[in-house]
Amino acid sequence: MLQNVLDVSSSIMPLRVKVCAEMEANRLRRLVVAVLASLVMSMAFSGTAAAEGWWAQTIRPAEFWSGPDATARLFGQLPRGTYVLVVNAGPETGNTRLFAREAGEQNFGYIEAVTLNPTQAPPGEMPVSPAHPSAFRPFWAATLEATNLQNGRKNSSEVVAALPQFTKIMVLGDPGDGHYYVQDARTSRVGYLDGSKVGPSQAPTPEDEVIWSSPAFVTVPDGHRPWWVKAIRATNLWSAISDGVSFGSVKDGDRFLVMEPLAGARLTIFNPVTRNFAYIDLDAVTKTGAPKPAAVEVGGWVGIVSGERANLRQEPHTVMASAGQVLRGDEVTISSWVEGEELEADNRTWARVMGVRRKASDGTWVELPLGDISPERYVYSGLLVAKVVTEAPVPPTMSLGRNGAKWIDVNITHQVFVAYEGVTRVYMAALTSGRPGWSTPLGVFKVLRRVENETMLGSTLFRVDSGEVPDYKLENVKWTQYFTSGGAALHTNYWRSPVLFGIPSSHGCLGMIERHAKWLWDWANVGTPINIHN
């Protein structure tokens, strides 16, 4: 046995030595390339008062290469927000990488144009001047309408991809014959498109990155618009377009998105409930409209766009076409919160938009015309923050508070509670109520029981329409005041981000920041009335 082991080991050793030698040679090549690049750039910069080129920041983690083409070696990855000085004016046609110097480490290399956003010089760095006064500087743009990306400047050129409206593109060269040489930010495809169909835009934002990373979004073929079908009988979901194994059965009435054009006896579908892909028999479904999402109706909630830019969707799902965009600081008025695609963990809430205002240069607010692109427009709740409510909303007229009695008014639209003693307002604070599908019950209730500190389990809840049972265990939930026998209560909500107070996010309870829940605990008692309304 020992002899066999020795024989095997000795047969492997020459191979191991060869592999190690190759690794060392590769390291040496990379080092030589890096040193040569540094020497070239050092000579280029010597004797100049200021660097030549333009500064940019990486908009996402970006790979740093030894050269401009596929033969280059990877030096490493630059984190999001890294400053680089781009030295060459623009990439050559056919290439998409720019030669640049990293600001911090002073390393040189090539970086993809679509990972950069032109910016000012970082702190501590000298301002730059163009290498040539007429040098072209790449810039960000977006398609003003659906258009084709082609492999040449002529209208008869082959179509590379169909770009929907508002596609982010990096313009890599001056227009020739009215066409731009561009790179698609999402797919990195390059080609030419009609310059009259693009307009200036900002660089892609983290919100764009979230949407592009959606498995449903990235698998939609160019030019295909997903459409809904529903099962007309109990049937199986399959693992392949023919034969395959069953993923399980679905029931009559279940709805799915068709993700690819028909190419056989089965359709490629996306299940919006499980977020999985599968195949379904064509004769087991029929075309239908979008499912009516669970909703929480509100009387005109107002929030502010917190992301740099956010897409409005025709349905609360990123696989659907964009119906416009809003910008950071825009004021959005909504008519309801609806359940849709979950882009962040445990957050499926989208806002149905009924109006958008933008602040003009003179400080006045201007109502933006939404046009007739689509009667429905949705924006993801994670891209909004509630506008601070400074004055208590007027409650409905009712008999609560007679003779100065204590009572609590909860306004679901404005996401605030107000404590009253008779008609006198004594305290107001933001809260987060039940999200779509788990909406907080409306009506007049009273505090039934109180628990100072407890552990809450999601397994005690059940959603009738979907059969969902939440999976959570939350310890040290303080100042809980139950007002229904089904478990709805006022309590602290320490596990939610502070920015979510003002937006529905709970499983039906009324959650508050701890100091507000403690104040209400000290002030109220068993029997205190609670009026909950839109």
Residue 100 in domain: no
Residues 528, 406 within the same domain: yes
| Model confidence at 15: pLDDT above 60 | no
| Model confidence at 488: pLDDT above 70 | yes
Residue 29 in domain: no
Residue 114 in domain: no
pLDDT tens-digit readout, 197-245 = 888 788 887 666 655 544 444 445 555 667 889 999 999 999 888 888 9
Q: pLDDT at position 338, please?
A: 95
Residues 521, 437 within the same domain: yes
Residues 258, 375 within the same domain: no
Residues 407, 470 within the same domain: yes
pLDDT tens-digit readout, 399-440 = 898 889 999 999 999 999 999 999 999 999 999 999 999 999
The average pLDDT across 468-491 equals 92
Between these two residues, 373 and 119, which has the higher pLDDT value? Answer: 119
For residues 17 and 79, the answer to whether their CB atoms sit within 8 Å is no
Residue 307 in domain: yes
For residues 110 and 100, the answer to whether their CB atoms sit within 8 Å is yes
Give dist(CA 307, CA 207) in Å, integer. Answer: 7
Residue 132 in domain: no
Residue 164 in domain: yes
Residues 277, 339 within the same domain: no
Percent of the chain with pLDDT over 90: 32
**Vertex 62 angle, CA 59 and 65, to 5°:** 145
- Looking up tokens 């003693």 gives 421
Residues 406, 528 within the same domain: yes
pLDDT tens-digit readout, 59-85 = 888 889 988 887 888 888 888 889 999
Phi/psi for 180 (5° steps) reads -95, 145
For residues 336 and 354, the answer to whether their CB atoms sit within 8 Å is no
Residues 379, 308 within the same domain: yes
For residues 378 and 338, the answer to whether their CB atoms sit within 8 Å is yes
Which residues contact residue 432 at a Cβ distance below 8 angstroms, ignoring those fewer than 6 apart?
Answer: 415, 493, 496, 500, 501, 502, 503, 504, 505, 506, 510, 511, 512
Residue 428: give its domain's CATH number: 2.40.440.10
Residue 227: give its domain's CATH number: 2.30.30.40
Residue 336 in domain: yes
Residues 459, 504 within the same domain: yes
Residues 505, 407 within the same domain: yes
Residue 327 in domain: yes
- The residue segments making up the domain with residue 525 are 402-533
Residues 477, 526 within the same domain: yes
The average pLDDT across 35-43 equals 42
Q: Which of 341, 360, 386 is the last residue of a domain?
A: 386
Residues 358, 429 within the same domain: no
| Model confidence at 183: pLDDT above 60 | yes
Q: pLDDT at position 252, please?
A: 92
Number of domains in the chain: 4
Residues 281, 299 within the same domain: no
Which segment of 107-111, 118-122, 519-523 scores lowest on mean pLDDT?
118-122
- Judge if pTM exceeds 0.75: no
Residue 380: give its domain's CATH number: 2.30.30
